[in-house]
Amino acid sequence: MDSNDLEYVGFWPRVGAALIDSLVLLVLLIPAIYLVYGWEYFLDEALIKGPADVLISWVLPAVACIWLWVKLRATPGKMLVGAEVVDATTGETISLKQAIIRYLGYFVSTIPLCLGIFWVAFDPRKQGWHDKIAGTVVVRRKGGRTAQVAFKGQQPE
């Protein structure tokens, strides 16, 4: 595919994708948490309630997200908006290392009042800080269809 068929995915489609991903996670995680801890989990103010909480609430979402980026180039939300996470230089699938760095980069992006997330709205390549740190971009075919990207050194407009 010609890189002229691609566009960087901006702030609002990415917000929509994140909301969809959050809903998917809630639908999957709330029953698992309930099975382990019961309704008391939702009434307890402690940040971490035990080892199963760490596994269900922190480890599994991280592993799933990283796996989806490496294997499918997108989470469910990004798939629904036709977006893919790709290497910023080559347009190819990101490496496991990039995926891990990108995931951890979300924490860097959100800590200072989500400034690194809002950065997407103003950056010419629509990169958040997590994208810049990991060397990734989020692209789609113009018109929102899924992009099977192969830049070969070229960049979308």
pTM for this model (two decimals): 0.87
Q: What integer best gives the mean pLDDT of the chain?
A: 91
Rounded to an integer, the average pLDDT of 7-29 is 97
Distance from C-alpha of 84 to C-alpha of 74, rounded to nearest angstrom? 5
Kindly report, residue by residue over 64-106, the tens digit of the pLDDT. Answer: 999 999 999 999 999 999 999 999 999 999 999 999 999 999 9
The answer for residues whose C-beta is within 8 angstroms of residue 40's C-beta and 6 or more apart is none
Kindly report, residue by residue over 121-131, the tens digit of the pLDDT. Answer: 999 999 999 99
Distance from C-alpha of 149 to C-alpha of 129, rounded to nearest angstrom? 22
